Structure 1
Amino acid sequence: MALVQQTKKKCRQYSVEYLKYGFVAAPHNQQQPMCLLCDRVFSNEAMKPSRLLEHLKKMHSDKADKNLAYLQSLRDNGISQQSTDGLRASYNISLLIARSGKPHTIGEELILPAVREVLHTVLHKSPDQIIKAIPLSDNSVQRRIDEMAENIEETLCNMLRTTEFSLQLDESTLPGNESLLLAYVRFVKDESLVQELLFARQLETDTKGESVFRVVDDFFKEKDIPLSNILACATDGAPSMVGRHRGFISFLKKAVPGVLTVHCVIHRQHLVAKNLSGRLHKSMSTVITAINKIKAHALNSRLFRQLCTDNDEEFERLVLHTEVRWLSKGNCLRRFYSLFDTVVEFFQDSNSVLCDELRNMKHDIAYLADIFAKFNEKLEWQRKN
């Protein structure tokens, strides 16, 4: 029987000799080289002297002829092009990228070219040195975001170790059928109520109450946060959360006997919004039918847009309703009612039955639009407070 030999990936070790190429050991991983001049970290596969030298000559040509003593002084004194203003700008821009939700590659693909254009065209300065001082590669942005996230998490956990707080849990299923557990905390800080995201953890197997409690308990033990600091816990009404014997709340009450448990306010609104009366449910269904007849067909969509233009309407398109995101009903109904007369006119010749139904349900549609608008306003107020 032939033996199959597996090719092992070669794992290189960082060497102090790499300093002559302008590289030191990365702070977060001593086995990876980090450029002393631009803070770029090379992977293990790219840790070759030839690659390091190529980077020095290509990206920092003005430093390529410097001797080892000069590079040692930069390392010992912590002086580099990006260690002050450039590094600060890199972190600030990385934070903006994270808040916008844009891909990390936007730093190199858009932001740096835009900065270069402003410096060259408006300020009439050479952008080369400034651009080199702001590392915004995909890996650099990712590393900056991870470092800032770790710092924020550690600061929050330090506060929760000595502060009583309320906990809110929400288990959601992602498009790839992955189950994600989100935990939020609310506590008093400087005489004001603060709400923060505590963690997001994936439920590897099932979503039973015991599994959810195990994830929460493991996180609190890892961060050394006493469970006894939990004053109250809010969840949805799923059996895995509120089950008397096997639900998450039952396990939590065993660990924290005096904890107060409540049904999440947002989920209560969801139940109210979902269980409409027969009359309002029929009106809602008619609205969705009318929207689908217009939005589902390209020709109808174009004709309706032209009709809105002819009627001098403020909007030209209807908004689709998404069942998963129940708050979208508010936007959907508000837009529909603002274009109600144009919608009725659109179906007057093509679908007289639907046209008559909409006329008869106008007051119900107005009522639904107001109710769901209140739901949306309530949620917005909860987010801000």
Structure 2
Amino acid sequence: MSAKKRKYQDEYIKFGFVALQKGDAEVPQCVICYKTLSNDAMRPTRLERHLRTTHPELADKSQAFFVAKREALKRAKLDSSGTFRQQTSKIVEASYEIALLVAKNKKSHTIGETLIKPSLLRAAELILGKDSANKLSAISLSNDTIKGRIDEMSQDIKEQVTDQIRASPVFAIQCDETRDVAQCSQLLMYARFILGDSVKEEMLFCHPLETYTTAADVFEVVSKVLRRKSTFMGRVASKTLPAEMRDFLNLAIKVVNFIKGGALNSRLFKQLCKDLDCDHQALLFHTNERWLSKGNMLGRVYELREEVATFLDVQRKADLYKMFQSRECQLSLAYLIDIFEALNGINQKLQGKHINIITQYDAIRAFMAKLDLWKCRMEAGNIACFPNLDSAVPAGLLDSKLKNQIIDHLTELKAEFIRYFPDLDEKRKTWKFIRNPFQCDVADVSDKVQEEFLELKFNSSAEDDFEILDLETFWVKYLPVYPLISLQAVRILTMFGSTYLCEAAFSALVAVKTKYRSKLNVEGDLCCALSGTRPRIPDLIAKKQCQPSH
């Protein structure tokens, strides 16, 4: 005798269930997870239990909510099992997600077909069985597919960022240009703008400059999208050196080139350091483009100075050995290491993400004050501020010639800073209200914002917010309340003080465009790799007809 067939009642929709015909019986289907239950479960208690145990966050939803879900279900195509024909859309979504991971990790597009897909299929077959592996085999990860997905996602990211910039009351850009492995000039641009209650930094584009790289060419490219160059410390550090110190710097470079310039010398020096149980077994090269490496190079030479001298002696490089071992050279190198280390420190404070120009100016003013302090100490014979030099000079007795050279160098260094930043004091007064409007006088702001400034200054709630929020967040928050004075502040806080973001992106460019991928158009890959904005993958899927891999 066959079991009694239960019938669906319209009131069951309040539990989130509709009826689905399966053979000669109706079965309940959940409009949330699309799961089908048995005909015997077609009773209020069983349906309500499914809702409260599987979807507890929806248990108190009104009947209208589930009716809307039912209508959406009716518009979808169902197969005989009652599941959506969304298999292909999920497959395409997986293809997009994997393509995004390929771009984020700066890998070749062929890795999807040659490594990722075979790994997925093998793992699925071993763990889940052949049926699951067959489902995953439909994911398209060919070279052309990965490239196409990356380009589509990068275009979507660019559109999002462009819309955000247009909606921002103020924005700033930084541009820089470099040559890739194919000798193609690439112009990279970042933007800083207001999004929500904070200041956001995003890569905007990477565009090849086909012919010239003049300012006019750069402006033309930038203007098509949206209708200052890097820090200067490297040039300053070397430019202001006295002639004799510069000679000793060049000597150190010459020694490094001799030891590392040939494979045999490199191996012999490494073995020597290994036999002497040194912490390091190799010297470091430096490049003019990455001037910070010059300080690192000097530090390694000085650390291994005894091993370097021994190697030069063994190799019978009498001229280099004699100059390198001289007291003047050793003391000059000690000072150069100390001053380059100080310059490295100030440079690192000026670089990085989410650093505003006020913070950078404060760091520069502090360093210039240190230069004055070091000069005064040096004139008094106190060299404690230069630890390497201090440890190299016996009993604190510094040669007067070297002392005068150091004083001259510090004087020239300060002069160069003043030449590059002539308006430090003026900017400090102009930006005083931005740093702390509650410790600023009304005379410190322009006439047109003075009344608004007073309202802000005596707003106790704003003063409490200032104590807990960073500068950018504070001024962005009060932009709708005090638009005139806040706009002046955010215009300054959105400015870029260096091209650090572009320079960091150039390192990613080197990883993406190699000699094996020299013809690659890198904009899409760089955009996906470096952007913090997530592409709208569901929207991209909705725009196309899903076609699985064959």
Tell me, in whole angstroms, the C-alpha distance in 2 between the residues paired with 1:119 and 1:314.
47
The correspondence of residues 305-324 of structure 1 with structure 2, limited to 5 A, is 305-324=270-289
Tell me, in whole angstroms, the C-alpha distance in 1 between the residues paired with 2:222 and 2:163.
17
Aligned to 1:358: 324
- Quickly say closer, same or farther: Cα 1:375–1:340, change in 2 above 3 A: farther
The correspondence of residues 237-248 of structure 1 with structure 2, limited to 5 A, is none
1:180 lines up with 2:186 in the alignment: yes
Aligned to 1:24: none
Q: Structure 1: which 5+ residue stretches go unaligned?
A: 1-71, 222-234, 237-265
Q: CA deviation at 1:369?
A: 4.8
Aligned to 1:285: 250
Specify which of 76, 83, 89 is matched with residue 83 of structure 1.
89
Identity of aligned residues (%): 34
SS at match of 1:156: helix
Aligned to 2:236: 272
- Quickly say closer, same or farther: Cα 1:353–1:124, change in 2 above 3 A: farther
1:326 lines up with 2:331 in the alignment: no
RMSD: 3.1
Tell me, in whole angstroms, the C-alpha distance in 2 between the residues paired with 1:118 and 1:314.
43
- Quickly say closer, same or farther: Cα 1:175–1:108, change in 2 above 3 A: closer
| 1:121-159 per-position Cα deviation (integer Å, ceiling 9, x unaligned) | 5x3644632541432211111112112111111111001
Aligned to 2:160: 155
For normalisation by structure 2, the TM-score amounts to: 0.43
Q: Does the 8 Å contact 1:280/1:368 carry over to 2?
A: no
Q: Does the 8 Å contact 1:178/1:202 carry over to 2?
A: yes
Q: CA deviation at 1:165?
A: 0.7
Aligned to 2:308: 343
SS at match of 1:383: coil
Q: Bigger radius of gyration, 1 or 2?
A: 2
Q: Does the 8 Å contact 2:187/2:207 carry over to 1?
A: yes
Aligned residues: 267
Q: CA deviation at 1:97?
A: 1.7
Tell me, in whole angstroms, the C-alpha distance in 1 between the residues paired with 2:249 and 2:198.
40
- Quickly say closer, same or farther: Cα 1:340–1:73, change in 2 above 3 A: farther
Aligned to 1:40: none
Aligned to 1:210: 216
Q: Does the 8 Å contact 2:122/2:133 carry over to 1?
A: no
Aligned to 1:225: none
Amino acid at match of 2:269: F
Aligned to 1:301: 266
Q: Does the 8 Å contact 1:304/1:346 carry over to 2?
A: yes
SS at match of 2:352: helix
Aligned to 2:338: 367
Aligned to 2:489: none
Q: CA deviation at 1:100?
A: 2.3
Q: Structure 2: which 5+ residue stretches go unaligned?
A: 1-76, 356-550
Q: Does the 8 Å contact 1:334/1:369 carry over to 2?
A: no
- Quickly say closer, same or farther: Cα 1:332–1:157, change in 2 above 3 A: same
Specify which of 127, 140, 148 is matched with residue 143 of structure 1.
148
- Quickly say closer, same or farther: Cα 1:279–1:105, change in 2 above 3 A: farther
Q: CA deviation at 1:363?
A: 0.8
Q: CA deviation at 1:336?
A: 3.5
- Quickly say closer, same or farther: Cα 1:323–1:268, change in 2 above 3 A: closer
SS at match of 1:169: strand
1:109 lines up with 2:79 in the alignment: no
- Quickly say closer, same or farther: Cα 1:202–1:342, change in 2 above 3 A: same
